[in-house]
Amino acid sequence: MNPFAERLSEGVLLSDGAMGTLLYARGVSQDQCFELQSVARRDLVLAVHLEYIQAGADLIETNTYAANRLKLARFGLADRVGELNRASAKLAKEARDVSGTPVFIGGAIGPLGKPLAPYGLVSVPEATAIFREQIDGLVEGGADFLVLETFSDLDEMRLAVGVAKSCTDLPIVAHMTFNEDGHTLRGHTPTEVARALAALGVAALGANCSVGPLPMVDVVAQMVAAVTVPVSAMPNAGFPRRVEGRMLYTASPHHLAEQAGRMAALGARILGGCCGTTPEHIAAMAVTLRDRRPSEAAARPPARPRAASPVETVAYEPTALSRKIGTSFVISVEIDPPKGTDATKDLLGAEMLQACGADAINVGDSPLGRVRMSATSMCVQIQQRLDLETIIHFTTRDRNLMALQADLIGLHALGIRNVLALTGDPPRGGDYGEATTVYDTDSIGLIRILRRLNEGTDLAGKPIGRPASFCVACAFDMNPQTLDREMRRLEQKIAAGADFIMTQPIFEPEVLDRFLQRFGAPPKPMLLGVLPLHSSRHAEFLHHEVPGINIPEWARDRMRDAGNNGREEGLRLSAELLDAVADRITGVYLMPSFGRYEVSAELVKRLRARRPTLTRPRV
């Protein structure tokens, strides 16, 4: 039997506490890479290990929680994964040697930091390679066992355990983290987590971080009742609060030790601390647990089933736009929010477009990565003033998974229920090139989230009350050079739950014809993108500098020959295009530039005068 597994079978093991808390308290700022300190300030990290050993810890974890390629890349250290993990494991072993105490070395591995597909952008093969790279470094450095900790996604944990088992025979301790309601971020209970992890064949399972020692007692009780695998618990020192710019954890060593005693009595085999815990906390726990051993007769209260919140099955009424899509010819016109606080011009433009016959107004979300009034504010003003539905461009660029869902629920409450799901332009091309991005997921993941909300739950499976009634659009680029790739993504978007398609602008009917001849009728109703040109310079800029826009040379020649009459020529080009394709499309998405809404108004009136009938696109 492995020495760690053998020792675990004999009784309670006391783990160390937080590493980051002590490094921060001793001068390592939060904008520095804590994992780099095992090399840059090794004496400091060594001292932390020694303090925990002296406090009575039976095992210490390596300073490698965030030492994976994705997280290290934020500090320009992606190429040093192996080096930092090996160095950290060797440093922990050095602490053991210096202390003369036979502590076990746990190789700490945290989650990737980015969600897995299909909700996130990290593919399973990519995640597999990332975990393997870190595990290899820890094994080479001499870790006695692996600690997978602070995982909130059970699927990611399953993947990480599988990778670990494929490349080492070291014992694995698997820790999930739980919210205030006793569930993981994805909605799993401690009982469900314990049974799932036990089935993976881990040496121990449990929870770390979470919200504090008292809630952790309940988690431990449920896990011990559910499985025979040893249970581990490493709670935070209470809930953090900000004091003079610093995050402080207020649970005292005595309180944490008291709760550790309760968890040991319930049957927990590994006990330690996470965020906010110090050597003082571990020393207090050592005193409480000195003579404690788990007892088979210890009371094991049954897991308390969580009463399911009733979910109202009656959905909201579908949007007016969703009723029109696929049954009548739909015209939507885009309006960009203003760069300042006064939206009068854009509201007047929307009013003019409504009078001409537009069915909806598209509102961009900081297009091209430039700062403008929020799309939400613009949509609210349009819908309140004109009683005209909007289609909000909603990007994943600036929001993590929690904020995405919170904002979507808020949009629904405000009556903004038509959503164009986009990944979003990166800010490096806009006014704030140094701005950071989030990109927890992409447009496909966003569509899946919207579908879950329409089913009445959030991403974690928690009910939101009545199911939402979002009408979801997806973007599509017919550019012949990238058509195969775009078709694959379009198929994924439709499978994820998109209700209709909005295309990038095209400038000649042949682009649509090639698409229809090759793929047949679109899989969902499609609004064809049309962008009236204003000048030769405008055409050249769009063609050469804006991704996804391809203007044929003959059209650019006509704009150049038009000279000062570019606006009129651009209107003619758009009108000719619409005349040529009107019998093969189910709607139009007009994109006026420079706030020239009167140009699009002319096209809206022209389309309404023709009253094109809705027919199956001619292939």
Query: How would residue 371 be classed by pLDDT, with cut points 50, 70 and 90?
Result: confident
Q: What is the mean pLDDT of residues 585-599?
A: 91
Bridge-based pairing state of the strands 390-395 and 418-422: parallel
Q: Is 347 inside a domain boundary? A: yes
The last residue of a domain, from among 237, 257, 289: 289
Bridge-based pairing state of the strands 246-249 and 240-243: antiparallel
Q: What pLDDT, in 10s, does the model give residues 226-269?
A: 999 999 999 999 875 554 445 566 789 999 999 999 999 999 99
Query: How would residue 611 be classed by pLDDT, with cut points 50, 70 and 90?
Result: low
Residue 63 gets which letter from DSSP?
S
Question: 215: how many CB neighbours lie within 10 A of its CB?
Answer: 20
Q: Is 298 inside a domain boundary? A: no
Query: What local confidence, expressed as pLDDT, does residue 53 receive?
Result: 96
Q: Which strand (E) or helix (H) includes residue 405?
A: helix 401-413
* 281 and 392 in a common domain: no
Q: What is the mean pLDDT of residues 267-281?
A: 95
Q: What distance separates the 2 farthest-apart alpha carbons in the chain? A: 92
What distance in Å separates the CA atoms of residue 505 and residue 327, rounded to the nearest whole number? 23
* 242 and 146 in a common domain: yes
Q: Nearest-CA neighbor of 409 among 356, 363, 439, 452?
A: 452
Confidence check: pLDDT of 282 > 90:
yes
Q: Is 545 inside a domain boundary? A: no
Which residue blocks in 65-169 are alpha helix, DSSP H? Answer: 69-72, 81-99, 124-141, 154-167
Confidence check: pLDDT of 296 > 60:
no
* 228 and 335 in a common domain: no
What distance in Å separates the CA atoms of residue 286 and residue 219, rounded to the nearest whole number? 21
The last residue of a domain, from among 289, 305, 337: 289
278-282, 350-354, 422-426, 550-554: range with lowest mean pLDDT:
422-426
* 367 and 280 in a common domain: no
Q: Nearest-CA neighbor of 56 among 15, 23, 7?
A: 15
Confidence check: pLDDT of 414 > 60:
yes
Residues facing residue 108 across a β-bridge:
147
What distance in Å separates the CA atoms of residue 91 and residue 42, rounded to the nearest whole number? 8
Print the SS3 string covering 231-277.
Answer: EEEEECCCCEEEECCEEEECCCHHHHHHHHHHHHHHCCCEECCCCCC
The last residue of a domain, from among 289, 314, 348: 289
Q: Nearest-CA neighbor of 272 among 331, 207, 203, 367?
A: 207
Query: How would residue 615 be classed by pLDDT, with cut points 50, 70 and 90?
Result: very low
Q: Is 312 inside a domain boundary? A: no
SS3 label, residue 464 = coil
Q: What is the mean pLDDT of residues 271-279?
A: 95
The domain spanning residue 135 has which CATH number?
3.20.20.330
Model pTM? 0.76
Buried b (16+ CB within 10 A) or exposed e, 343-379: beebbebbebbbebebbbbbbbbbbebeebbebbbbb
* Overall number of domains in the chain: 2
What distance in Å separates the CA atoms of residue 486 and residue 514, rounded to the nearest whole number? 14
Buried b (16+ CB within 10 A) or exposed e, 532-563: bbbbbebbeebbeebeebbbeeebbebbeebe
For the chain, what percent of residues have pLDDT higher than 90? 74
- Domain extent, residue 368, equals 329-534+566-610
Provide the token pair at 537.
Answer: 């310079």
* 349 and 278 in a common domain: no
Query: What local confidence, expressed as pLDDT, does residue 304 receive?
Result: 35
What distance in Å separates the CA atoms of residue 469 and residue 456, rounded to the nearest whole number? 9
* Residue pair 470/391 in contact by the 8 Å Cβ criterion: no
SS3 label, residue 170 = coil
* 249 and 337 in a common domain: no
Query: What local confidence, expressed as pLDDT, does residue 315 receive?
Result: 64
Q: Is 619 inside a domain boundary? A: no
What distance in Å separates the CA atoms of residue 37 and residue 58, rounded to the nearest whole number? 23
Cβ contacts of 488 within 8 Å, gap of 6 or more = none
The domain spanning residue 505 has which CATH number?
3.20.20.220
* 494 and 419 in a common domain: yes
Confidence check: pLDDT of 568 > 90:
yes
Q: Is 150 inside a domain boundary? A: yes
Q: What pLDDT, in 10s, does the model give residues 178-199?
A: 988 899 988 999 999 999 999 9
Q: Is 199 inside a domain boundary? A: yes
Query: What local confidence, expressed as pLDDT, does residue 435 receive?
Result: 65
341-355, 414-428, 451-465, 605-619: range with lowest mean pLDDT:
605-619
* 163 and 262 in a common domain: yes
Residues facing residue 60 across a β-bridge:
105
Q: Nearest-CA neighbor of 273 among 240, 234, 218, 239?
A: 234
* Residue pair 52/282 in contact by the 8 Å Cβ criterion: yes
SS3 label, residue 576 = helix
Mean of all residue pLDDT scores within the chain? 89
Q: Is 301 inside a domain boundary? A: no
Confidence check: pLDDT of 271 > 90:
yes
Confidence check: pLDDT of 60 > 60:
yes
Confidence check: pLDDT of 613 > 80:
no
**Centroid of chain to Cα 168:** 30
Q: What pLDDT, in 10s, does the model give residues 212-229?
A: 899 999 999 999 999 999
* 334 and 441 in a common domain: yes
* 338 and 196 in a common domain: no
SS3 label, residue 111 = coil
Query: How would residue 295 be classed by pLDDT, with cut points 50, 70 and 90?
Result: very low
* 406 and 271 in a common domain: no
CA dihedral defined by 361, 366, 369, 370, rounded to 10 degrees?
A: 120
88-97, 294-303, 346-355, 566-575: range with lowest mean pLDDT:
294-303
Amino acid at 608: R
* 119 and 55 in a common domain: yes
Query: What local confidence, expressed as pLDDT, does residue 305 receive?
Result: 35
Task: Identify which of 87-101, 314-328, 472-486, 587-601 has the greatest average pLDDT.
Answer: 87-101
Q: What is the mean pLDDT of residues 54-61?
A: 96
Query: What local confidence, expressed as pLDDT, does residue 293 receive?
Result: 38
SS3 label, residue 419 = strand
Query: What local confidence, expressed as pLDDT, does residue 312 receive?
Result: 42
Provide the token pair at 379.
Answer: 């949509």
Give the dihedral sign, CA 540/541/547/549: negative
What distance in Å separates the CA atoms of residue 123 and residue 128, rounded to the nearest whole number? 9
Distances in Å between the alpha carbon of 256 and those of 48, 70, 179, 273, 295?
Answer: 20, 33, 18, 9, 21
Residues facing residue 61 across a β-bridge:
106
Q: What pLDDT, in 10s, does the model give residues 529-545?
A: 999 999 999 999 888 87
